[in-house]
């Protein structure tokens, strides 16, 4: 009977990744229990074994890129992982009663972490690197790209769904003279963001998107749709439809995937984004039918790779400070696995970043795409 180590070795055939090899993207195994754990628990076992120090990889982003291009995960499908998939099919994990779970579990991890990891404006979404040489520039360029796509004019009232710490709201208010209402499910984001933007016409609210009121000239959602869930896509569009003026524009900025899964990767669901779900183009389009017209669909997912690598570099640069503030070694390994495996997924083109500009039926303007 083949050993678990030999089984893993066979699975790696054709991926260019080796066990205990000499290259920086090879897997270095420190604990022989690693093999059984991965075969038993799949991606959850791989991530947890790394968190526990059972294996290491210097260039994990490169390793993940290679494994995903070889479609390795399809070859390791433990029976126990069927349960979360079936659960997601019958239960609405993103229902209103659980709306604030992701805020508490992820975005409220602590502003100490995010202030050191992100750019100066604390923009927790993909940067735009076409003409940028650093993270701050990439995020400023992305925010300005959004404003230009939205054709913002002074005096407009803008709704920002999933506003984070208010990076877009602050930029748009400063540079385009608009008023912004931002909603988020993170109390930490509202507290710090409100302080940072106190001198601007910006209001940040701790509020679920389904409870927003008022009518707006523009609606923007940057990096929040990943938490909406497929069962709620139509509801999300109906909410925006009710909040947007007839001649308004909606910009939806979301990570997307070509893999039509009903549940996010089990390790990511457990440790990073509980209840997360990446939309496919087909599911987005189905939710738009009869509601919105697609004016523009822009994919710059390759730019998430350098964004994530810049975030990782910032975490490493401030590792000592973060450790002193309670982010211990296990947390560091968890966060490193999250950031670098995500970079590998975008590099392998498994995940994408879509900016979609939408108008209501009957929109009277002529929309010109911006790049």
Q: What band does 188 get if pLDDT is binned at 50, 70 and 90?
A: very high
Q: What is the mean pLDDT of the chain?
A: 92
Average pLDDT over residues 103-113: 89
In the chain, the percentage of residues whose pLDDT exceeds 90 is 85
Q: Is residue 251 predicted with pLDDT exceeding 60?
A: yes
Residue 247 CB neighbours (<10 A): 12
Could you tell me the pTM of the whole model? 0.92
Stretch among 28-37, 87-96, 207-216, 258-267 having the lowest mean pLDDT: 87-96
Q: Three-state secondary structure along 115-154? A: HHHCCCCCCCCCCCCCCCCCHHHHHHHHHHHHHHHCCCCC
C-alpha 3: how far from its chain's center? 37
Burial letters 67-102, b for 16+ CB under 10 A, else e = bbebebeeebeeeebeebeeebeeeebbeeeebbeb
Q: Is residue 339 predicted with pLDDT exceeding 90?
A: yes
* Distance in angstroms (rounded) separating the CA atoms of residues 156 and 9: 59
What does the pLDDT read at residue 264?
72
What does the pLDDT read at residue 82?
43
Contact 318, 310 (CB under 8 A): no
Residue range 162-180, pLDDT digits in tens: 999 999 999 999 999 999 9
Q: Is residue 92 predicted with pLDDT exceeding 70?
A: no
Q: Which helix (H) or strand (E) holds 239?
A: helix 233-243
* Distance in angstroms (rounded) separating the CA atoms of residues 53 and 336: 12
Q: Is residue 94 predicted with pLDDT exceeding 80?
A: no
What does the pLDDT read at residue 90?
46
What are the residue ranges of helices labelled H in 2-81?
Answer: 4-11, 33-51, 60-69
Q: Is residue 263 predicted with pLDDT exceeding 70?
A: no
Residue range 50-88, pLDDT digits in tens: 999 999 999 999 999 999 999 887 766 554 444 444 444
Residue range 30-58, pLDDT digits in tens: 999 999 999 999 999 999 999 999 999 99
What does the pLDDT read at residue 2?
80
């Amino acid at each position: 009977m083949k050993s678990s180590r030999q089984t893993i070795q066979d699975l790696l055939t054709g991926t260019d990744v080796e066990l205990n090899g000499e290259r920086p993207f090879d897997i270095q195994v420190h604990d022989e229990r690693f093999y059984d754990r991965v075969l038993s628990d799949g991606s959850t076992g791989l991530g947890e074994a790394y968190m526990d120090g059972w294996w290491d990889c210097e260039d994990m982003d490169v390793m993940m890129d290679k494994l995903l291009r070889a479609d390795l995960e399809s070859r390791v499908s433990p029976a126990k992982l069927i349960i979360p998939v079936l659960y997601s099919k019958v239960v609405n994990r993103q229902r209103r009663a659980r709306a604030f779970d992701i805020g508490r579990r992820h975005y409220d991890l602590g502003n100490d972490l995010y202030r050191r990891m992100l750019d100066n404006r604390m923009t927790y979404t993909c940067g735009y690197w076409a003409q940028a040489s650093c993270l701050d520039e990439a995020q400023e360029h992305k925010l300005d790209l959004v404003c230009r796509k939205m054709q913002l004019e002074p005096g407009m009232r803008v709704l920002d769904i999933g506003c984070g710490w208010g990076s877009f709201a602050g930029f748009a208010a400063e540079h385009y003279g608009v008023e912004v209402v931002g909603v988020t499910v993170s109390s930490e984001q509202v507290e710090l963001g409100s302080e940072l933007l106190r001198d601007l016409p910006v209001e940040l609210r701790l509020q679920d998107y389904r409870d927003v009121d008022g009518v707006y000239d523009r609606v923007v959602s940057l990096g929040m749709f990943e938490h909406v869930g497929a069962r709620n896509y139509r509801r999300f569009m109906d909410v925006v439809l009710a909040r947007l003026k007839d001649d308004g524009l909606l910009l939806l900025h979301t990570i997307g995937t070509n893999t039509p899964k009903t549940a996010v990767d089990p390790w990511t669901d457990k440790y990073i984004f509980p209840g997360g779900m990446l939309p496919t183009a087909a599911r987005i389009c189905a939710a738009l039918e009869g509601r919105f017209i697609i004016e523009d669909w822009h994919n710059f997912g390759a730019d998430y790779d350098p964004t994530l690598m810049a975030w990782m570099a910032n975490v490493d640069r401030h590792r000592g400070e973060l450790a002193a503030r309670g982010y211990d070694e296990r947390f560091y390994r968890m966060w490193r696995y999250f950031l670098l495996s995500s970079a590998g997924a975008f590099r392998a083109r498994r995940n994408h970043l879509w900016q979609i500009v939408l108008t209501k039926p009957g929109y009277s303007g002529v929309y010109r795409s911006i790049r």
